[in-house]
A and B are shown apart, each in its own frame.
Chain A
Amino acid sequence: MKPTLPLEELMSPGHLACQGCGAGIAMRVSLKALGRDTMFTFPACCWTVIDGPFPYSCLEVPLLHMAFEATAATAAGIKAAMDALGKDKTTICGWAGDGGTFDIGLQALSGAAERNDDIFYFCYDNEAYMNTGIQRSGATPYGAWTTTTPVKHFKKEAKKSIDDIVAAHKVPYQATASVAYPEDLYKKLVKAKDIRGFKFIHIISPCPPGWKARPEDTVKLARLAVQTGIFPVYEVDGGKYVQTMKTPTRKPVLEYLKLQGRFKHLKESDVADIQRMVDTRYAELEKRFQGC
């Protein structure tokens, strides 16, 4: 047996994520890369619940639960304290959902990115407000059903391009990742740990109940999101774009959409619209990718 990731677990079993939760994989893998000398702050999100109720927790690193919109500023505060106390080696991480990142926490995120605070900002993206019952967020893709975008009025706006927003801050390191490629995520984090300054990690994390998908399809969906070009996986290291999971031939988006109840209502023409949007977006991004 030759594991591709360290065996040590810093996330205990017994947590409260639903069956097949992508966010669970995201955390488990990230902790393997970050190690014990790490601290987290969470805003309100699914992970508030997953972590477990008082007096329990499933993390083996310090964690500060915080208000919904405050992740980046809170992490910046922890980091400043650790610097002031001479413990500047510890890795400080904000860990937020898409709502806490794309929407309500965007101001604090932008502030910390602009100041280039020496922290990790993770967004595990399940593309809606899942904690409160699957309401639309700025990360919900075009065409999706949520409880606030009912099938008759499915979401008509495209997913907000948070990676481009962060990139506009010219942060030292940012990356997208998928829970289908844990080694890629692991490698990125190990590399980024040694980079000083703001690091943004955006992880697509399928959510079976929120996406109306089968729990066993979580990894498959996270893989198809990449293979269809819906969620390209790349890093921007010092301004240099590198696609880390290559997709020379992209699969049709339908393969991804048809496994999810949240897209069931879409007509053929809607799917064609989505394919066009994905193609355009992908082509745009492809121009930025360098090297191999």
Chain B
Amino acid sequence: MKKVMMGNHAISHGATLARVQVIAAYPITPQTQVVELLSEIVADQRLKAEFIKVESEHSAMAACIGASSAGARAFTATSAQGLALMHELLHWAAGARLPIVMADINRAMAPPWTIWTDQNDSLSQRDTGWMQFYCQSNQEVLDSVIMAYKVAEKVLMPVMIVLDAFSLSHTYEIVDLPDQAVVDKYLPPFDYKYKLNVSDPHTYGGLTTPDWYMEFRVKMQEAMDQALVEIKKEAVEFEKAFGRRYDPVEPYMVDDADIVLVTSGTAASTARFAVDQMRKKGKKVGNLRMRLLRPFPFADVREHLKNAKKVIIVDRNISYGYHGIWAQEVKSALYGHSKVPVFNFIAGLGGRDIFPETFVEIVNKVKKLKKPDQELYWVEVKK
């Protein structure tokens, strides 16, 4: 069934179709509609689930950890300050190997107070052990929630679904709502082998000495390696079931491109529009959209950037005193595999729009340079 809906409601519908059993959430702009719709759906008993209206995001994640440990499919959604407040428990969820799924609406971090988009909130959680899927359409958001549980429950690691504030969260698009029966067939109920169980009692997460701690970290890394395999497998399986495909990265006209723009989130759609315009003028430009931050798709990135003469990474985020964060990631994947010069541009922080012309200007600037003459370039900032 096709429906016009905002990104936030796509999340709620995704969670409903995934038959989540426990929801614990706390409101924050621009996430509120996610929980508002879900509380309505639960109250109307269109979804059989417990909804805990917690007193903070910290407790939201704590409740999800408790619920998931007890064997329920757990869900939450948040943004920026709320995500940061959860930080300790993000490590906990991953370290405890709980397949929790959370949506994060990318909002810039305060101060100063802001509600508009950039990626510093989710990227700051890079090393917590959560998978991160960056979406560019409301359809992808809905589909990703469903797919996320499939992958998470296979490898026992949590997933964060990431989408831009307002440009997705509050933007209405046509979304195909899959049939519940099809979703049920694709995503079986959560059957957690390690759940808290009075008939087979165990203790979880207890004190662990240096004799053992590292082995559990090896297992987390192995789970992430396995996750990449599963994600690729699910790209195919999901397409079979729903007719839509989501790969770890999405290349667009990269094969013969001299310059490839690497982007993520909604900026990727804008970049593709700019690529079309530039192609019309005979410029050999392509776009590589990054969907996965973790597990990082090393091989795909290397493959799709192997023919490029120049790589431009446009980051809607920054690691102060270093580069944009995607630039660090992509560069380190290329190191030792490619000598291609990599240019890093920082654009669109705190919700500043990124236009197709922005990409055209970036490409024009890079065309004049043989290699970067600065560590990073700020885009369209007041001088």
Task: Name A's B-contacting residues (CB within 8 A).
Answer: 36-39, 41, 48-49, 51-57, 59-67, 69-70, 72-85, 90, 107-108, 110-111, 114-115, 117
Contacts and interface: CB of A to CB of B under 8 A. Distances in A.
Interface stretch (B61-69, B116-124, B220-228, B359-367): B61-69
Residue with the highest number of chain A CB atoms closer than 10 Å, among B53, B58, B66, B207 = B66
Given A48-B207, A78-B196, A81-B74, 7 more contacts: A51-B203, A54-B212, A65-B206, A73-B54, A76-B66, A84-B22, A84-B72
Interface of B: 21-22, 24, 48-50, 52-56, 58-60, 62-72, 74, 88-89, 92, 196-198, 201-209, 212
B59 to A, nearest CB: 3
A73 B198 contact: no
Nearest to B201: A62
A101 to B, nearest CB: 15
Among the interface residues A52, A57, A79, A81, which one has the most CB atoms of the partner chain B within 10 A? A81
Contacts of B88: 67
Given A53-B206, A57-B202, A78 B67 contact: yes
Nearest to A37: B198
Contact of B24 (A36, A38, A48, A77): A77
A110 B54 CA distance: 10
22 contacts: A53-B209, A54-B209, A57-B202, A61-B201, A62-B201, A63-B203, A64-B204, A65-B207, A67-B89, A69-B58, A70-B62, A75-B66, A77-B64, A78-B70, A80-B22, A81-B72, A82-B70, A90-B198, A108-B55, A111-B54, A111-B59, A115-B52
A70 B208 CA distance: 20
B287 to A, nearest CB: 41
A57 B203 contact: yes
A38 B59 contact: no
A73 B59 contact: yes
Given A37-B198, A60-B201, A81 B206 contact: no
Contact of A62 (B50, B58, B202): B202
Nearest to A114: B55
B125 to A, nearest CB: 16
Give chain A's interface secondary structure class: mixed
A80 B50 contact: yes
A70 B48 CA distance: 26
A24 B126 CA distance: 40
Contacts of B21: 81, 84-85
Nearest to A35: B198
Contact of A81 (B53, B54, B67): B67
B62 A108 contact: yes
Contacts of A48: 206-207
B52 A107 contact: no
Given A37-B198, A77-B24, A84-B48, A52 B58 contact: no
Given A74-B63, A83-B50, A111-B54, A59 B201 contact: yes
A292 to B, nearest CB: 38
B56 A107 contact: yes
Nearest to A59: B203
A135 B197 CA distance: 36
Given A61-B201, A80-B72, A108 B206 contact: no
Nearest to A60: B201
B281 to A, nearest CB: 55
A55 B54 CA distance: 33
A142 to B, nearest CB: 30
Contact of B92 (A51, A56, A67): A67
A244 B132 CA distance: 54
Contacts of A39: 70, 196, 198
A75 B62 CA distance: 9
Contacts of B203: 51, 57, 59, 62-65
A70 B86 CA distance: 11
A115 B59 CA distance: 13
B66 A41 contact: yes
A282 B226 CA distance: 62
A67 B71 CA distance: 19
A247 B239 CA distance: 73
A64 to B, nearest CB: 5
Contacts of B56: 107-108, 111
Contacts of A52: 206-207
Contacts of A53: 206-209
Nearest to B55: A111
Contacts of B204: 62-65
Contacts of B74: 77, 81
A51 B201 CA distance: 14
Contacts of B92: 66-67
A209 B197 CA distance: 35
